[in-house]
DNA sequence: AGCATTGTTTCACA
DNA sequence: TTGTGAAACAATGC
């Protein structure tokens, strides 16, 4: 699920429910999700501290820790979710899942926990994560930045939207959604876009992000359920078209999106 | 059995 | 330089 809206929701959960709780133990033994680190390294850095602040840029989130501790970076990958439980063990999606899909766990001294629950196991946990390759956050980017970064070069528009170095936070579903909302073909060349089209696209992007956060994720977008064979554009009724653009399966309305 | 998947990284190549 | 496509990563679901 995780694109920018899901990550923002996860950040808000951490912000409201996990800060200020003393860390008693950490399970960082998943050598894939916690790789470059050796088992125990993240644990040593966190035990005795508290999560103090939360941050997000694009799909990357991270926490500051107390006593000048390291930053704790968390990436949800393709299927990661954050579960936070209270001292009674309540909340945190306990019912949702197989415990073996908890890939990283912080246990608080009060008995609750923060877990990275990740079925597909492509998430990541890092100390002091490197964020230098990320472009400006898709929810915060200014009109001028957007026009400059998106409207340059000869890439297909969708490929550019998915480029986390150009703009951070847009994934495959959100890209299809905002392109449909904007009436723009994913195959349009970026240098071919007029300023008005870029401004319009950015407007739809911000609207779609807000809506997705409010409604529970990018899968609630209007076009998402129509990304299937034999489905039709909910506005004009044309049959949806499918192709690979920017390396990802892409669905769009060939009549309205030009 | 085979293919697809909301993400990232790397690499060969044009 | 820019951009593309494929593969690898891991694991599940249809």
Q: What angle do CA A108, A110, A114 make, to 5 degrees?
A: 35
C1'-nearest nucleotide to the CA of A219:
B6
Q: What is the pTM of this model?
A: 0.96
Cβ A248 to strand C below 7 Å: no
A51-57 β-sheet, strand order: A51-57, A60-65, A72-75, A124-127
What torsion do the CA atoms of A161, A163, A164, A169 make, to the nearest 10 degrees? Answer: 30
Instruction: Return the residue matching tokens 């669905």.
Output: A251
pLDDT tens-digit readout, A3-56: 999 999 999 999 999 999 999 999 999 999 999 999 999 999 999 999 999 999
Residue A97: is its pLDDT beyond 80? no
* A32 in contact with nucleic chain C (CB within 7 A): yes
The C-alpha atoms of residue A33 and residue A79 are separated, in whole angstroms, by 12
Return chain A residues 147..206 having CB < 7 Å to nucleic acid strand C: 152-156, 159, 190
Per residue in A186-239, pLDDT (tens digit) is: 999 999 999 999 999 999 999 999 999 999 999 999 999 999 999 999 999 999
């Amino acid at each position: 699920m995780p694109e920018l809206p899901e990550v923002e929701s996860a950040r808000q959960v951490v912000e409201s429910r996990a800060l200020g709780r003393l860390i008693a133990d950490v399970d960082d033994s998943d050598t894939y999700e916690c790789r470059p680190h050796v088992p125990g390294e993240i644990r040593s850095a966190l035990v005795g501290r508290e999560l103090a602040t939360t941050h997000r840029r694009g799909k990357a989130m991270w926490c500051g820790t107390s006593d000048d501790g390291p930053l704790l970076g968390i990436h949800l990958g393709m299927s990661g979710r954050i579960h936070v439980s209270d001292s009674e063990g309540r909340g945190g999606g306990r019912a949702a899942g197989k415990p073996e899909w908890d890939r990283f766990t912080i246990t608080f001294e009060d008995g609750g926990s923060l877990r990275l629950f990740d079925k597909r196991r492509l998430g990541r946990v890092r100390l002091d994560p490197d964020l230098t390759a990320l472009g400006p956050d898709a929810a915060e980017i200014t009109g001028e930045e957007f026009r400059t970064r998106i409207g340059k070069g000869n890439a297909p528009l969708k490929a550019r939207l998915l480029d986390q170095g150009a703009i951070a936070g847009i994934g495959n579903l959100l890209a299809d959604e905002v392109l449909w909302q904007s009436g723009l073909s994913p195959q349009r060349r970026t240098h071919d876009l007029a300023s008005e089209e870029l401004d319009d696209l950015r407007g739809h992007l911000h609207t779609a992000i807000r809506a997705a956060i409010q409604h529970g994720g990018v899968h609630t977008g209007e076009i998402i359920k129509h990304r299937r064979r034999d489905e039709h554009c909910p506005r004009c009724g044309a049959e949806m078209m499918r192709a690979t653009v920017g390396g990802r399966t892409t669905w769009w309305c060939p009549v309205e999106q030009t």
